[in-house]
Structure 1
Amino acid sequence: MTIEFTPWPADRAQRYRAAGYWNDQPLSQLLIARAAVQPQAPAILCGERRISYGELDRRASNLASRLAAHGLGQGDTALVQLPNVAEFYIVLFALLKAGIAPVNALYSHRQHELGAFARQIQPALLIASAEHEVFRNDAFLDDLAKEGLRPKLTLMLDALDDWSASADVRGTHYAPSPCGEVALFQLSGGSTGTPKLIPRTHNDYAYSVRASAQICALDSDTRFLCALPAAHNYTLSSPGGLGVLHAGGCIVMAANPEPLHCFALIERHAVTMAALVPSAVALWLQAAPGHAAKLRSLRLLQVGGASFAEALARQVPEVLGCKLQQVFGMAEGLVNYTRLDDSDEQVFTTQGRPISELDEVRILDEQGQPVADGEPGMLATRGPYTFCGYYKSLEHNAQVFDQDGFYHSGDIVQRSADGNLRVVGRVKDQINRGGEKVASEEIENLIVMHPDVTHAALVALPDELLGEKSCAFIVSRNPQLKPIALRRHLMGLGIAEYKLPDRIRLIDAMPLTAVGKIDKKQLRALLAVAPTV
């Protein structure tokens, strides 16, 4: 049994294999190969734990064996939600080895998002932490059971040590899914609801990881601070934890990007590389004075996930004492990097250029015609690691893919004469809150479920630290409705906290466009002249 997904056209697949980009090896092979040549080298440092390549590979194989003994394997899916701990990688490689395709939810996701993922993939396996509020009791699992979605097997984090300690002798047969099939699902930024699922195959994801590791000059001396969520596509594959393991380096786990916590880890473990979003960089820059000695080993800071102000970019080498690399990527595929030998001007003012020579990028005007270099336009792309369709989303796919198979990302970019891209905006109705994407439509639909609300509109509010915050404009039949009541309403629906509106403003009526749609341009203009709660 295989998982449905939209494959690459045969002629393009042949090109990517002929170029050597697709090597028809499972994604798990990057760990297996390294464990064979450096089994004692440290792969993950997590708290006081040191996990070698040999132990990581062995524990992943043991867990894969135990899962196979429970009848799980190729064609099955898993819903996984774990914090930044070593078990995240043990589980990931076990699932890859067993042919089970996971959705790796962010630890900030709650019932609303987790339920949506479960309804899409109907997981046979759930792996989570009992310390997360959703799993402190059985209410969520009971709700899944009512929908006929309760997984065949549920494992909690505190049981994973025993499950990965030894193989199950009753069922040791397991195998990865074919290399052209789905290895895992990534999460879209989403502009029209809860994140859509992005099928990533062994071939396309492994190529992106290998090429990223090469561009970023990773090697066995690399020590990578994993401070953003390990499950995030950026932290996982650009080049992220997978790129580090491919190169034989070491991942240092951090619970979060809090500066002083991270500075202590950098000093203790001689961290050479970190990846952050701009809001976290701003906090590091504020906290760094007086801590230069702790940052002495840091050579490279990657910044991605959101627009990065040039003024902050120029401070990175001066204040943090390391090289800056800008990253502009998407879970759907295309990843751009400034190169390590780019000029300061390129590094400080652009978000880099694509990984591959076979990445095709079009920058188009509203009529679908190419714009000149330096002019803003809408980004469309296809290539050896850019997907061909969201999972079970035929109607949405018809909107975002053109007849040539180019994916229209919703980003507005400019291309310089040297091929580097600069991100200048978005077409999508989406708020980028410090790297976390908030789909306006999703939150609007949840707000209007409140009995006192008749209309809701969520718009971006500029913020120096996060880049953007969110402001909800509300039309209510109850003039006494308080913002705290709306926030409690949303929390009661189980959404992630980062999706809660940062500001709420009640208005008498929504401004409308000529065709009767809510005029968000007028709402944004109101933000500049009137305060919000």
Structure 2
Amino acid sequence: MTETPMPGMVPWPEELVEFYRSEGLWQDRNLFQYIEDTARSSPSKTALVDTGDGSRLSYREVIDRANAAAWRMRELGFREQDRVVIVLPNSWQLVVLLLACFRTGVIPVMALAGHRRYELTHISARSQARALFTMDTWRDFDFRPLTQELENEVDTLEWSFIARDHGPHARSLDDLLAPLDLSPAQTAELDAISIDPLLPALFQLSGGTTGLPKLITRTHNDYAYNIEVCSEVAGLTEDDVQLAALPLTHNFGLACPGVLGALTVGATSVLAPSPNPVKVFEAMEQEQVTTAVVVPAVAQRWIAHEAEHRTGKTVSLRVLQVGGSRMPDELAPRVQAVLGATLQQVYGMAEGLINMTRLDDPEEVITTTQGRPVSPHDEVRIVDPEGNDLPDGERGLLLTRGPYTPRGYFNAPEANEKSFLDGWYCPGDVVVRRPDGNLVVQGRDKDIINRGGEKISAEEVESLLYQIDGVEQLAVVAMPDEVYGEKVCLYAVIRDGHTLTLEQACEHLREVGIAAHNLPERIEIVDRLPMTKIRKIDKKVLREDIAAKLAAEEQ
């Protein structure tokens, strides 16, 4: 087992590797093995319930299908450290494919079902992916012609695997995941694959804080520990039924503890393609869901629906994990009051550090803070702009490092210089640490917009909008929204003789192929933009302006 990372990967220092091993944090096992152990002890128990197509898979069926897919991938020529891009909604196919990748050492890149040509071209090229896995259609979007475009644009892409109607040019994902009775020799050949737990198990995507997504390296060792400590703090056990209504390609829904945590402890995961309260509440009642994972915007929809309709279908819900963006203090108490569940606030990042309120914390902690680190080995500093440590109670930038926080992005030296310093990761979040160790998120230092947990780079959207003829100057800023927390507002100065409407701006971004959550939802045409003393656009003034306008319109 080599200690040398793959090219482009930033390793942990050797002394930390040995320390994490000696402390039992890193167990040098493939992620697949943890779930395989559960399947051996509870083979007939239901592992996955897919509300999209009605499928129910036992632990034995999940492992058997993953082994079948792993064998077929090896026959096709996939080998350890090959990269593949996964663009699938919540489904049993996504989970089984992911396990097949872990089994073979193939590294999945966890794209979002909402990503389009603009993001997927970059992700596929940056990762040097050999294959793309997706559905035929999703929410009225046809991925089949897009996969052909991507194969033409990205030199390394050899195959596309498409579920349901795969069309004439792609391979069938359904066939790849079909059951297959492997011989003892075939199983032994899979068992003989040597997978270094210090190498990537998967690539998560950064939130796009400085442009197109960066690849976050998550190894088998660090991700297994991430899943373990999150499961412990969430109180997840084999008796739980977990509802997965957030995209599983997000770190939160996948491993905090997420569906991988549920499969590791022997719980049942109910996979929902949408968090729509009508359908989700039906599933809650039918499957007796005990724990669920949502962002604040979804929590607000669920609370409003239950308060209005009094369905009584959430009575089995024990814990509601809320993260992705800060939970409004005034909404937090209503989780218990309306849904009957204990709120667990979760604040973290796919780059590592996860904070959670504890289930037995006082109500004041649960409803007004975003929790504290899940591991005693997590290190957290709060610093001023010059990097000086600040005392508890003072507002500052968060820095963190630890046994599940990678030391750098994959193949991104420039981004690493900005975001990592001597092993400390700086996400750009502004927080206050209370004397009891709980963090209160105050906002962002970087120029991003958090739309219901989706991080939008204002700089990236601006660069694309500047391609429109007649644009003199523009700025993309966050505007407050009761449901999503923030939405995208566009301020623009237009040259004489030209016009720009919101629909024109959005149509241009659609043609570029950017994900829909990046689209502006309001436009303000102005004569000039406010400037700071150093001649930069003063976005603070613009955010205050749009907030004031929205407040005035509500009166």
Q: TM-score range by the shorter chain?
A: over 0.9
Amino acid at match of 2:24: G
* Mapped pair 1:162 → 2:180: no
Q: Does the alignment pair 1:307 with 2:320? A: no
Select which of 359, 367, 370 maps to 1:340: 359
Note the aligned Cα RMSD (angstroms): 1.9
Counterparts of 2:130 and 2:141, CA distance in 1: 19
Q: Which residue of 2 aligns with 1:463?
A: 481
TM-score normalised per structure 1: 0.96
The match for 1:498 is: 517
What corresponds to 1:20 in structure 2?
Answer: 24
- Aligned partner of 2:393 among 369, 374, 383: 374
Residue 254 of structure 2, aligned match among 225, 229, 236: 236
Q: 1:2 & 1:367 partners in 2: Cα distance?
A: 34
Partner of 2:102: 96
Closer, same or farther in 2 for the Cα pair 1:264/1:139, shift >3 Å?
closer
Q: Which amino acid aligns with 2:480?
A: P
Which one-letter code corresponds to 1:160 in the other structure?
Answer: L
Structure 1 unaligned regions, length at least 5? none
Structure 1 residue 138, shift from structure 2 partner: 3.1
**Cα distance change, pair 71–177 in 1 and its aligned pair in 2 (3 A):** same
Runs (5+) with no aligned partner, structure 2 = 165-171
1:223 to 209, 229, 241: 241
**Matched residue type, 2:204:** Q
User: In structure 2, what is the Cα distance between the partners aligned to 1:134 and 1:260?
Assistant: 23
State the one-letter code of the partner of 1:385: Y
Matched letter for residue 15 of structure 2: D
Percent identity for Structure 1 against Structure 2: 40
Q: Residue 148 of structure 2 is aligned with which of 127, 131, 141?
A: 141
Q: How many Å apart are 1:333 and its aligned residue?
A: 0.3
Aligned equivalents of 1:351, 1:220: Cα separation in 2: 26
Name the structure 1 match of 2:116.
110
1:56 maps to which residue? 62
- 1:287-331: CA deviations, max 9, x gaps? 103435211111110000001111100111011011110000100
Aligned-partner residue type, residue 152 of structure 2: A
The alpha-carbon deviation at position 369 of structure 1 amounts to 1.2
After superposition, where does 1:119-198 map in structure 2 within 5 Å?
119-132=125-138, 135-149=142-156, 151-158=157-164, 159-164=172-177, 165-166=179-180, 173-174=189-190, 175=193, 177-198=195-216
In structure 1, how many angstroms separate the alpha carbons of the residues matched to 2:141 and 2:278? Answer: 29
Which stretch of structure 1 is more off in the superposition, 334-343 or 364-373?
364-373
Cα distance change of structure 1 residues 319 and 408 upon mapping to structure 2, 3 Å threshold: same
Which one of 2, 15, 29 corresponds to residue 11 of structure 1? 15
How many positions carry a matched residue from both structures?
531
Work out the CA distance in 2 between the residues paired with 1:140 and 1:26.
Answer: 30
- The match for 1:35 is 39
Q: Hey, what's the Cα distance between the residues in 2 that align with 1:3 and 1:298?
A: 45
| Inter-partner Cα distance in structure 2 for 1:135 and 1:95 | 25
Contact kept, 8 Å, 2:117 with 2:150, in 1: the verdict is no
Distance in 1 between the 2:154 and 2:390 partners?
49
Assess, with a 3 A threshold, how the Cα gap between structure 1 residues 143 and 59 changes in structure 2: closer, same or farther. closer
Local SS of the residue matching 1:418 = coil
Give the AA of the match of 1:33.
D
Amino acid at match of 1:425: G
Contact 1:63 1:167 in 2 (8 A): no
TM-score (norm 2): 0.92
| Pair 1:359 & 2:372 matched | no
- Contact residue 147 and residue 160 of structure 2 kept, 8 A: no
Kindly indicate whether the alpha-carbon contact (under 8 Å) linking 1:353 and 1:421 is maintained by their aligned counterparts in 2: yes
Instruction: Give the counterpart letter for 1:497 in structure 2.
Output: A
| 1:172-226 superposed Cα distances (whole Å, 9 cap, x missing partner) | 7443631000110011112211111101000000100011111111111110111
